[in-house]
Amino acid sequence: MSDPVRELPTPLKMITTPISLDYTITPGEAPTRFLKGMMEGRILGERCPKCLKVYMPPRGSCATCAIPTREQVELSSTGTVTTFCVVNLPFYGQAVEIPYVCASVVLDGADLPFFCLLAECPVEEVRMGMRVEAVWCEPSERKPSLENIRYMRPNGEPDASYESFKEHL
């Protein structure tokens, strides 16, 4: 008698069903104001009228007070590293050579840190409290994107005290 198990067909292990959807995303009023500023090489945060926190980048509302932020606040391109990580792992699509530093930087005058690359600095020297400045792309290369800030680099000022940025971690 034949073995019924042996006569089973080869199991189908995988099918490929490609999916592709196109979206046209609207940034919204506040991000549009911010992105227009980026086109001019300016960093425009927005202040909450109630708690006075300055959002950078602004998303249109104060997440604490749930009210629109409307007052634009021009921020300087210097700030403080609140935290960071050194990327040592290669992965598909990686745009920067490893090791590199991904940092959380709170710009002077802002109340929320934003994520950015940190360069022109040996990775072992990066630290919390380090003072940094933005390195912009050429004006001719500007687009409506936070990528106009190519990266942050140390600006040589003495480190900020932990007390000065502990609220922004």
Partner 1 sequence: MREIAVVSFAQAHSVRRDIVHNEVEILMPVVAEAVSSSGLTRDRIGFTVSGSCDYLAGVPFSFVMALDGVGAWPPIEESHVEMDGAWAMAEAWTRLQHGDIDTALVFGFGKSSVGELPDVLTLQLDPYMVAPLWPDSISVAALQARAMLDAGLCTEREMAEIAVRSRRDAKSNPFAQLAGDFSVDKLLADRCISSPLRRHDCAPISDGASAVVLAAGDVARALCEKSGRAPAWIRGLDHRVDSQALGGRDLTTCPSARLAALKAGVGDGPVDVAEIYAPFTHQEILLRRELGLGASTRINPSGGALAANPVMAAGLIRIGEAAAAIHRGEAKRAVAHATSGPCLQQNLVCVLEGE
Contact residues: partner 1, CB under 8 A: 15, 17, 19, 21-31, 59-68
Residue 90 Cβ, how far from partner 1 at the closest point, in Å? 23
Residue 162 Cβ, how far from partner 1 at the closest point, in Å? 23
**Angstrom distance (rounded) from CA 73 to CA 96:** 31
Structure tokens at 66: 């749930």
Residue 154 Cβ, how far from partner 1 at the closest point, in Å? 32
**Angstrom distance (rounded) from CA 121 to CA 85:** 14
Which residues, at least 6 apart from 101, have a Cβ–Cβ distance to it below 8 Å?
84, 85, 86, 87, 117, 118, 119, 121, 123, 126
Nearer to partner 1, 112 or 137 (CB): 112
Nearer to partner 1, 5 or 21 (CB): 21
Nearer to partner 1, 10 or 140 (CB): 10
